[in-house]
């Protein structure tokens, strides 16, 4: 009997070891698969259309919002970091929501901000693993939590896309228990059921991007009804009545009925802004109108959409600004440039950022390591590793802190 018990114990140990080994193998196989996909995209071996970066490379991804310092003021409040925790100040520089969050994912939009509590993994680098980084929380301007979920997007047109029930993190996919995407309203109620496996886009002009499987994107309305069938590899939000979409043959534009307005022929196309859209083909950028006519020829190394009557474009390694006719208004003399916002544009000279007006004159000299566009009359700037806010005269309303 004692010998039998010993054999049984050994069998249990062997079984347990085998189970752990198999589980570990599946886990690392999963990680290897994720890594392989990322490496294919990184080295440009994937066949799907990609987003070009300012340096001319491809494979970047244009998110609808960025994390941490780039946000700036929105709806009268701006995020600040104090002793490693994030809170919000008002236009007087007074703390109105005390620092208590690990991260601000989105500033206030439609009265609600998206923050994160718990351990942080940088979602800009971690991809799917970003969902392990604590809970996302939607808060109002009093700092009250209205909804919590593993991952979410900012509110737009009264709704926000959320990812729910991802209780096991990245292990969920191994056991078929991954979460789903749906839409909540400002009361935290699920108004479009969490039934979508792939990430949802934010609503714009009544429609939002959804994806039924990799490379099959379409659009739904506020009721969750499919308005444009999922047939596109990539799709962006609607702007000025048209949306940028892509298939393997290229990028183009569709209307709200799904009709192709501009043929899918470009290597990349930006959303329409002030009736013109920047497009790229064979490494050169130009601008088209809403009928697809090329109104500013393909001649620039890079281009950003029009804002406040001017577009930032790059030529021969330097940035300048053109008007809607293509006439050079501000000479090509900057190392980097961003769209105009509230009368000012952030530009880079060497490694320092400053601000110019629409005549190209500096209103705030380049002296910041990083700077964001002006919103609500203020801009977030970096001095060394510290972040602060300035007004349009360059005066601090919040001294740089970190």
Q: Are residues 189 and 60 in the same domain?
A: yes
Count up the domains in the chain and report the number: 2
Residue 244 within a domain: no
Same domain? 306 vs 169: no
Q: In which band, very low, low, confident or very high, does the pLDDT at 51 lie, cut at 50, 70 and 90?
A: low
Res 31: pLDDT: 44
- Say if 370 falls within a structural domain: yes
**Domain-located, residue 6:** no
Asked whether residue 122 is domain-assigned, the answer is yes
Q: Which of 329, 333, 327 is nearest to 315 (CA)?
A: 333
Predicted confidence band of residue 166 (pLDDT cuts 50, 70, 90): low
Q: Which of 203, 228, 249 is the last residue of a domain?
A: 203
**Is there a single domain that holds both residue 321 and residue 187?**
no
Kindly state whether residues 66 and 180 are assigned to the same domain. Answer: yes
Q: Which tens digits make up the pLDDT trace of 281-314?
A: 999 999 999 999 999 999 999 999 999 999 999 9
pLDDT single digits (tens) 339-391: 999 999 999 999 999 999 999 999 999 999 999 999 999 999 999 888 899 99
Residue that terminates a domain, selected from 171, 203, 235: 203
Specify if 36 maps to a domain: no
Same domain, 61 and 189: yes
Residues 185 and 75 in one domain: yes
Q: Based on the domain organization, do 65 and 193 belong to the same domain?
A: yes
Give the residue, 371 or 32, on which the prediction is more confident. 371
Q: With respect to residue 107, please indicate whether it lies within any of the assigned structural domains.
A: yes
- Co-location of 195 and 316 in the same domain: no
Q: What is the average per-residue pLDDT within 2-21?
A: 55
193 and 85 in one domain? Answer: yes
Among candidate residues 159, 174, 203, the one where a domain is terminated: 203
Does residue 125 lie within any of the structural domains? yes
Q: Which residues, listed in sequence order, are joined to residue 193 by a DSSP beta bridge?
A: none
Q: Which residues pair with 113 in a beta bridge?
A: 139
Q: What is the pLDDT of residues 176-214, one digit of tens each?
A: 567 899 999 999 999 999 999 999 999 999 999 999 988
In a domain, 208, yes or no: no
* Domain of residue 177, residue span: 56-203
Query: pTM of the entire structure?
Result: 0.80
Question: Do 323 and 195 share a structural domain?
Answer: no
């Amino acid at each position: 009997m004692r010998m039998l018990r010993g054999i049984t114990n050994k069998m249990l140990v062997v079984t347990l070891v085998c189970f752990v080994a198999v589980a570990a193998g599946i886990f690392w196989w999963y990680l290897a698969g994720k890594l392989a996909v990322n490496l294919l995209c990184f080295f440009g071996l994937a066949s799907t259309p990609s987003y070009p970066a300012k340096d001319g490379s491809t494979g970047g991804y244009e998110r609808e919002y960025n994390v941490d310092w780039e946000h700036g003021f929105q709806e009268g409040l701006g995020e600040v970091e104090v002793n490693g925790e994030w809170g919000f100040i008002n236009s007087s520089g007074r703390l109105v929501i005390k620092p208590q969050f690990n991260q601000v994912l989105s500033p206030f939009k439609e009265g609600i901000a998206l923050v994160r509590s718990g351990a942080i993994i940088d979602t800009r680098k971690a991809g799917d693993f970003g969902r392990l980084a604590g809970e996302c929380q939607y808060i109002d301007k009093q700092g009250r939590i209205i909804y919590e979920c593993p991952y979410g997007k900012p509110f737009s047109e009264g709704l926000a896309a959320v990812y729910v029930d991802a209780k096991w993190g990245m292990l969920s996919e191994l056991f078929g228990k991954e979460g789903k995407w749906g839409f909540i309203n400002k009361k935290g109620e699920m108004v479009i059921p969490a039934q979508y496996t792939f990430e949802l886009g934010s609503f714009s002009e009544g429609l939002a991007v959804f994806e039924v499987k990799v490379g099959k994107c379409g659009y739904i309305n506020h009721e969750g009804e499919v308005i444009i069938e999922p047939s596109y590899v990539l799709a962006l939000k609607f702007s000025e009545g048209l949306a940028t979409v892509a298939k393997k043959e290229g990028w183009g534009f569709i209307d709200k009925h799904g009709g192709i307005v501009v043929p899918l022929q470009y290597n990349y196309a930006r959303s329409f802004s002030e009736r013109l859209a920047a497009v790229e083909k064979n490494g050169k950028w130009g601008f088209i109108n809403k009928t697809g006519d090329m109104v500013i020829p393909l001649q620039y190394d890079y281009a950003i959409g029009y804002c406040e009557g001017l577009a930032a474009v790059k030529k021969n390694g330097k940035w300048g600004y053109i008007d809607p006719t293509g006439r050079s208004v501000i000479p090509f003399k900057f190392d980097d440039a961003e769209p105009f916002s509230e009368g000012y544009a952030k530009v880079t000279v060497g490694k320092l950022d400053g601000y110019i007006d629409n005549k190209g004159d500096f209103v705030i000299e380049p002296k910041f390591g990083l700077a964001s566009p002006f919103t609500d009359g203020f801009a977030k700037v970096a001095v060394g590793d510290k972040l602060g806010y300035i007004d349009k005269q360059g005066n601090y309303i919040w001294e740089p802190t970190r």
